[in-house]
């Protein structure tokens, strides 16, 4: 049986992060450097300095590279606390895509690559991006449609293709590119490559407008033309890119859930205070069942999300392959938290639609979470296929 009790030291760290976010980070939420394409690098660096001074930078990274070396269960506590502000994960340097890249590099990269790419990233001296998604007819939810090519030329690969929805590309020091490697006519399979930036063969075609705005650098559409990388810049083994993507994605789905659980909790707290103070028909909104029941449903779903996340995190800490569980949790949590944010807006009426509180912003950000790292429909399709295979085998 899983013990969900929280050790005192972990609870103290969680509370320290929550206090840090409330006292140091939340005051930045109206900073003009928080733009429609996310916080600027100037703002990010300033927030990183605060977290570094508090001893909270890169909590998920091993101590060898300057982090706190937290387990996945410990991350569930700390990332939720960080997520209480949409700027909290930026400050602690545990936001996507850098957080997922750091995790993958610790698992897959060789020692030289870790010193060259992971260490400066973990120390928040640079940012990174992960370039896998492509416009039609390339790879999206179906990685089998990967169209970007990397052709071997001696000790090098020449990469050409197009990527889009690449979070954080603008201003990144390097990107990890997924491309289909070829040696002449031989298809070597999907492969990951490090590309240092800027590179003359990498062009940002545009920064895409989107409803979410919590990621530094926004989301870019990128053209890759004749990008030359040495064989030493292959991440892991040639042809194993999709396997490494799962190394990255299974934990990353959960860490998204952790961060957005914190944000949804913030929206819920704001709505509770509003409902307790605002009156109508002789009593506070909280005493009207129509409102009280919505907030009660929020309490239920936030609690169940927390348990689901911790269960999947515990499985990862036990060395289990939690890909299946992470898909289920991602669907459940992303949809439950959207309902929570929606009820918060409804509870607050017109006030919830304004920029006077963070509720409207959190609502927009959490809606986007139902799409990235695999939309709910793709995860349901994968879960259903597994059910079919298991049924056929029984």
The domains found in the chain, sorted by start residue, are 8-122 (1.10.540.10), 128-239 (2.40.110.10), 242-393 (1.20.140.10)
pTM: 0.96
| Strand ranges in 154-274 using DSSP code E only, listed in sequence order | 156-167, 174-183, 186-196, 202-208, 219-230, 234-235
Distance of CA 96 to the CA centre of its chain: 4
Distance of CA 151 to the CA centre of its chain: 31
Cβ–Cβ < 8 Å for 194, 176? yes
What pLDDT, on the 0 to 100 scale, is given for residue 167? 98
**Greatest CA separation found in the chain?**
80
Segments in the chain below pLDDT 70: 1-2
Closest C-alpha to 366, from 339, 392, 385, 387: 339
What pLDDT, on the 0 to 100 scale, is given for residue 216? 97
Segment 71-121, tens digit of pLDDT: 999 999 999 999 999 999 999 999 999 999 999 999 999 999 999 999 999
Joined together, the tokens standing for residue 310 give 């911790």
Closest C-alpha to 38, from 135, 161, 129: 129
Half-sphere exposure of 385 (CA within 13 A, CB side): 8
What are the two backbone dihedrals, phi and then psi, of residue 346, each rounded to the nearest 5 degrees? -65, -40
Segment 195-219, tens digit of pLDDT: 999 999 999 999 999 999 999 999 9
What pLDDT, on the 0 to 100 scale, is given for residue 4? 72
What pLDDT, on the 0 to 100 scale, is given for residue 1? 53
> Which residues, 6 or more positions from 76, have their beta carbon under 8 angstroms from its beta carbon?
254, 258, 306, 309, 310, 313
Residue 7 is given by DSSP the state P
- Tell me the C-alpha distance between 83 and 100, whole Å: 16
Query: Residue 98, Cβ neighbours under 10 Å: how many?
Result: 26
């Amino acid at each position: 049986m899983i013990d969900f009790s929280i050790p005192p030291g972990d609870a103290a760290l969680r509370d320290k992060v929550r206090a840090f976010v409330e006292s140091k980070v939340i005051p930045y939420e109206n900073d003009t450097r928080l733009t429609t394409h996310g916080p600027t690098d100037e703002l990010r660096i300033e927030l990183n300095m605060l977290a570094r001074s508090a001893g909270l930078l890169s909590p998920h990274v091993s101590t060898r590279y300057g982090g706190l070396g937290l387990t996945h269960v410990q991350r569930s506590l700390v990332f939720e606390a960080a997520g209480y502000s949409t700027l909290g994960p930026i400050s602690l340097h545990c936001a996507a895509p850098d957080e997922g890249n750091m995790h993958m590099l610790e698992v897959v990269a060789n020692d030289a690559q870790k010193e060259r790419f992971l260490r400066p990233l973990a120390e928040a001296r640079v940012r990174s991006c992960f370039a896998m998604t492509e416009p039609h007819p390339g790879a999206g939810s179906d990685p089998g449609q990967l169209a970007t090519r990397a052709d071997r030329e001696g000790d090098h690969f020449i990469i050409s293709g197009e990527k889009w929805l690449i979070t954080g590309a603008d201003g990144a020091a390097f990107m990890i590119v997924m491309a289909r490697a070829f040696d002449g006519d031989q298809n070597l399979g999907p492969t990951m490559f490090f590309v240092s930036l800027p590179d003359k063969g990498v062009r940002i075609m545009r920064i895409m407008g989107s409803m979410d705005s919590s990621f530094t650098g926004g989301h870019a559409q990128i053209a890759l033309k004749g990008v030359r990388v040495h064989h030493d810049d292959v991440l892991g083994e040639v042809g194993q890119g999709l396997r490494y993507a799962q190394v990255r994605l299974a934990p990353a789905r959960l860490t998204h859930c952790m961060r957005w659980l914190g944000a949804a909790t913030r929206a819920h707290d704001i709505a509770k205070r509003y409902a307790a103070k605002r009156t109508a028909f002789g009593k506070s909104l909280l005493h009207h069942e129509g409102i009280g029941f919505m907030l009660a449903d929020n309490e239920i779903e936030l609690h169940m999300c927390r348990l689901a996340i911790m269960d999947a995190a515990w499985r990862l800490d036990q060395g289990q392959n939690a890909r299946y569980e992470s898909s289920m949790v991602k669907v459940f949590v992303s949809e439950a938290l959207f309902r929570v944010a929606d009820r918060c807006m409804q509870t607050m009426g017109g006030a919830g639609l304004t920029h006077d509180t963070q509720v409207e912003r959190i609502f927009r950000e959490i809606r986007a979470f139902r799409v990235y790292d695999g939309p709910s429909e793709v995860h349901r399709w994968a879960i259903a296929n597994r059910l079919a295979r298991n049924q056929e085998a029984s």
